[in-house]
Structure 1
């Protein structure tokens, strides 16, 4: 499916966005030009053509005032009638100047203004002024002046038509400019909508659909079909992502195959270990029991015939067999941690501790125990943990003094921290790691009994439950063994 995709999804989106930006820029430029043209046409129509129409009307009124003033003066002889005449001349001159400004870009109408101004000047100089000077209403100039003023009216009408034509053309140009503006805006909006549609199509075909196919394949692999090969859909960058996921699947499959092989080897090893444990607990202990029994029988039957050396040798043999049995039993207990005893239930450590405390061999031992919590774990293993810790505290007490043991428990975030301390002979700091190693002893057997496996079992039990165990080197009045266990979610802090 990668053959039809030559560009990455990022490049596709970049090109689409670039096209949209170019469209926006071009549309903005065209829109700005159109808006500028529209503003110019609107300004021309509102600021020049329309005021020019008003000025033409005022010019016509000024000309009529002049003609009326002359006629009134001729009929009455009262110079007061010449006031409108003089005012009309001033108004005419002002309106002509304004029309020259308003119509400077309208050559036809401007020519009408100049022609009308010349005709008005000729009418005044050729008819109005001579009639005012003659004061004769029967003068032949009256009729010829009236004909000349009618021509002046015709010129004014021509000017009005040309100004109205310019106004009509301005309105048409304004409508065309607005139509172009609206068209450009519609093109921009259409282009943006088309770009958004293109992005949506690209997003669906180049990203979402390939990702859905890849996700479906990944879920299929995650559900257990590890032999299912992942496709490489979509653009090259998504195809590279799929290839990386496929490579990861290959590594996971290879690791899974190796894990299965290791698991099979471990299963066979556990089977061999279980067989060994069976042999150790039955077949190996039977000869040891026979050795010890027959040596004891030999001592009882022939004891009066043996010298002290021979009886010593027999005692050595019985002691060796007994110690061998103890070593085998402790080794079996060590191997069963996490293999035979692996239940996970709520364990009330207070009750477990109370049972172990009642089984202590030294009844004179003083044990102070803080309230203990409920944790999750294997009851048998946690009993073995308390038993080994308390037994060690009793065994390594100071000679001539009753053992005194203190057990503390404190919540720290998501775990419980416990401490078992005594006032015995203590442990040197340089042995803080050695004491948790199997079969490591710090004292001769004739001084302190045991196989040297007790604290190693404690370490394995604590780590099996997700905790840690260590020797507190700051405590100097004996030994303090600290360990942690995970706290349950609903346990009080």
Structure 2
């Protein structure tokens, strides 16, 4: 359960998720559409069957019944003509009518096979046709021309009665076929009307389902999501008291509760952040007070402490000059110790003052031509460079934004270290390389001196950290610590690079866009 969320006490349908609602809705809609689709297919099939019955059965049956009647009329005409004239050419309609009769009877037999009434009508027609042909038509047609007239005259009365019976059977058959076709047409009209209504119902159901789905999505998904989104926008504008409404399916309600829990957590974090900010303001005030006290201490150290120290050094040196030949060798040694200690104390105080001023006193920023800054450092070390026979090379140096004084001290300390820790058997060779890496410059100061052991590469930047005795290499151990502080004030980094062969390589970076002020990142710039 999310932090701050209330337990879910709902039950039943109110706990359905969006997925479950969609699954149930799709299932119901699919069932309804399948039922309507089945009804539509049945209506189409019914309409098609009735259309086939009218077009392929009822109408052809009626047509062939009429065709049969015409064939029999042709037969009766041919027989009567032959019986009156005795000329054989009058039998041509009779012989043609026989062929038409057989074809029509065969077709009617196939078309009326499924109808009992039509089959009975067809049997009556066959029976009466057979009776007329057997009694009248065939005897007259089979007689020779001389006997045909007499045969026809003899059977004329029976022929009329029998052919009238044939006509009556044909009329009954056609009447029944017309009625059957009319019924089939009515059924076809009804089926087409039903089909139209079924498809209209399908269309109406589809429209209704679409409307229901749209309304359900709007009420169940769109509106709840819109409420959550609006509440989230209000919170993003700073209205942290704006509660996130929980509505809709269970998963969207859970989402709303999670977002509201996040809002409450954000409110708590902001309250803590405000408390932290107040604490930070108090610490910043304490830091400003501490810096003021530090400046006061620096003033005292530079004036009040150095003044008595200068007196001690001056009077000790005066004592050494005036009474050096009157004291014993041990007294001269003690006086020398006192003079050396006072001098070293003065150097240490001056170095401490310079270290404390880095990033605090000398923090005026301007464009610095590192070529000029590097040249100034060489001028300050000109005596040491000449005495040691050192050779210095450097790549073209860029112009950056920074503190001219601190960058000058940075070059001076790095070059001074390279000269101080030189190899005893060869003159110093110092090379400065420059490379641009993205938005910063990387500088490497490489020398051919005694080098720095790997285990001391991090310790050399700690204040007062010395790797050698004062007798071997003089100094206070503040130089590289001051370099680190100056580089970090400008937003860069400094470290000792591993090298192959003799010497040491110290790399540092400076931003191309200028320094990052310590007060901008909330870190103090002085101890």
Whether contact under 8 Å (1:120, 1:152) holds in the other structure is: yes
* Map of 1:201 onto structure 2: 215
Q: How far apart, CA to CA, are the structure 2 residues paired with 1:255 and 1:151?
A: 112
Q: Residue 179 in 1 paired to residue 193 in 2?
A: yes
* Map of 1:265 onto structure 2: 279
* Map of 1:419 onto structure 2: 444
Q: How far apart, CA to CA, are the structure 2 residues paired with 1:288 and 1:246?
A: 63
Unaligned runs of 5+ in 1: 489-493
Q: Residue 136 in 1 paired to residue 153 in 2?
A: no
Q: Residue 24 in 1 paired to residue 33 in 2?
A: yes
- CA spacing shift, 1:355–1:415, aligned 2, 3 Å: closer
Partner SS for 1:120: helix
Partner SS for 1:427: coil
Quote the offset at 1:83 in angstroms.
3.9
Matched residues, number? 479
* Map of 2:459 onto structure 1: 434
Q: How far apart, CA to CA, are the structure 2 residues paired with 1:154 and 1:42?
A: 30
Quote the offset at 1:353 in angstroms.
4.5
Quote the offset at 1:376 in angstroms.
7.7
What does 1:55-66 align with in structure 2 at a 5 Å threshold?
A: 55-66=64-75
Whether contact under 8 Å (2:428, 2:447) holds in the other structure is: no
Quote the offset at 1:373 in angstroms.
5.8
Partner SS for 1:191: helix
Unaligned runs of 5+ in 2: 1-7, 325-330, 514-527
Aligned-CA RMSD value: 3.5
Q: TM-score, normalised by structure 1?
A: 0.83
Residue deviations 1:410-432 (CA, integer Å, cap 9, x gap) = 44x67654433233332222223
* Map of 1:491 onto structure 2: none
Q: How far apart, CA to CA, are the structure 1 residues paired with 2:510 and 2:157?
A: 132
Residue deviations 1:58-92 (CA, integer Å, cap 9, x gap) = 21221122112211211221234334323322332
Whether contact under 8 Å (1:23, 1:188) holds in the other structure is: no
Q: Residue 357 in 1 paired to residue 375 in 2?
A: yes
- CA spacing shift, 1:352–1:269, aligned 2, 3 Å: farther
- CA spacing shift, 1:297–1:7, aligned 2, 3 Å: same
Q: Residue 87 in 1 paired to residue 96 in 2?
A: yes
* Map of 1:256 onto structure 2: 270
- CA spacing shift, 1:437–1:323, aligned 2, 3 Å: closer
Q: How far apart, CA to CA, are the structure 2 residues paired with 1:472 and 1:329?
A: 26
Please identify, of 443-452 and 263-272, the stretch whose mean Cα deviation from structure 2 is larger.
Answer: 443-452
Partner SS for 1:420: strand
Quote the offset at 1:312 in angstroms.
1.8
Q: How far apart, CA to CA, are the structure 2 residues paired with 1:466 and 1:396?
A: 28
Q: TM-score, normalised by structure 2?
A: 0.78
Partner SS for 1:136: helix
Partner SS for 1:408: strand
